[in-house]
Amino acid sequence: MKYFLLSLIAVSLASCGELRQQSNKKADLHTQNELNNNALHWEYDGEHDPEHWAELSPEFIQCAEGHFQSPIDLESYSIKSIKHDLLQFNYHPCSVDLVNNGHTIQANIEASDEALIANGEAYALQQVHFHSPAEHQIDGIIYPMEMHMVHVNEEGKLAVVGVFIKEGHENTTLAGLWEKLPEQVAEHVHPEKNCDVLHLLPDVHTVFHYSGSLTTPPCSEGVEWFVMKNPIELSKAQIKAFRKQYHHNNRPVQLQDMLSVEEID
């Protein structure tokens, strides 16, 4: 049985810069993890592909042995009741550091510590990155791209908002980032305009929620996933521009007996 509850969307007026100081420590930790993981050579194709991630390092064992692995085909699970009825997005326009990290194009973001309130817990937005094609599926439908907005709370717990991307109109919010995508691995680009992160979300915030994992090594579990049911749009040219850098940077869907999915409307 499905239960539909109202998710309240609140917009705070605080500037992202006010809380920059507090976010720095976590951003540094994040960068360190990113570097460590990148040092271990994993890929989407060839002998280091997702089938072999767990063999590359003892730290990657969850990729093969986890029971709550992401991504999934959301509607292949029975969608159950909801534990929370409140999801708040407090995103503000922020400057971004756009980096080609060898696995995707990632926008590291200076954001407030309460960018996302989920189930009463506050999370800071750390970074936004992209996969092509999409990683999650809805009943077997595979969108051309998926955006992941990665958040972390004080205890280091991760919450990721996933947004499907379909081909359509030009996405003017992302146009600033897409002006010059970093082509070389480890290349950074600093777009002039702030990114209005709130406007990256679809108009209707119906989400699928489940507890899963990182979709990249080390495939750590305990990641709270909020996958938006409705896609946003990028133009054909914008999708092509991303695919010039990365195509097929998606982990295949995982079949997980123990997972349960909730729909929050």
Contacting residues toward Zn ion, per CB under 5 A: 148
Query: At its nearest, how many Å lie between Zn ion and the CB of residue 83?
Result: 24
Query: At its nearest, how many Å lie between Zn ion and the CB of residue 195?
Result: 17
Query: At its nearest, how many Å lie between Zn ion and the CB of residue 4?
Result: 27
The residue (of 148 and 205) whose beta carbon lies closer to Zn ion is 148
Query: At its nearest, how many Å lie between Zn ion and the CB of residue 3?
Result: 28
The residue (of 223 and 259) whose beta carbon lies closer to Zn ion is 223
In angstroms, rounded to a whole number, what is the distance separating the alpha carbons of residues 188 and 174? 17
The residue (of 148 and 151) whose beta carbon lies closer to Zn ion is 148
Residue 104 near residue 246 (C-beta atoms within 8 A): yes
Query: At its nearest, how many Å lie between Zn ion and the CB of residue 131?
Result: 5
Taking alpha carbons only, the member of 70, 68, 43 closest to residue 55 is 43
Rg (CA), the chain: 17
Q: What is the DSSP letter of 46?
A: G
Q: What angle do CA 57, 213, 220 make, to 5 degrees?
A: 35
The residue (of 19 and 44) whose beta carbon lies closer to Zn ion is 44
At a CB cut-off of 8 Å and minimum separation 6, what does 110 contact?
A: 16, 17, 20, 23, 27, 94, 95, 96
Query: Of all residues in this chain, which one has the CB nearest to Zn ion in the complex?
Result: 148
The residue (of 169 and 248) whose beta carbon lies closer to Zn ion is 248
Q: Quickly list DSSP for 169-225.
A: S--HHHHHHHTT---STT-EE--SSPEEGGGGS-SS--EEEEEEE-SSTT--EEEEE
Residue 171 near residue 236 (C-beta atoms within 8 A): no
Query: At its nearest, how many Å lie between Zn ion and the CB of residue 160?
Result: 7
In angstroms, rounded to a whole number, what is the distance separating the alpha carbons of residues 100 and 218? 19
Quote the tokens at residue 221.
Answer: 């579990």
The residue (of 115 and 150) whose beta carbon lies closer to Zn ion is 150
The residue (of 19 and 115) whose beta carbon lies closer to Zn ion is 115
Query: At its nearest, how many Å lie between Zn ion and the CB of residue 228?
Result: 14
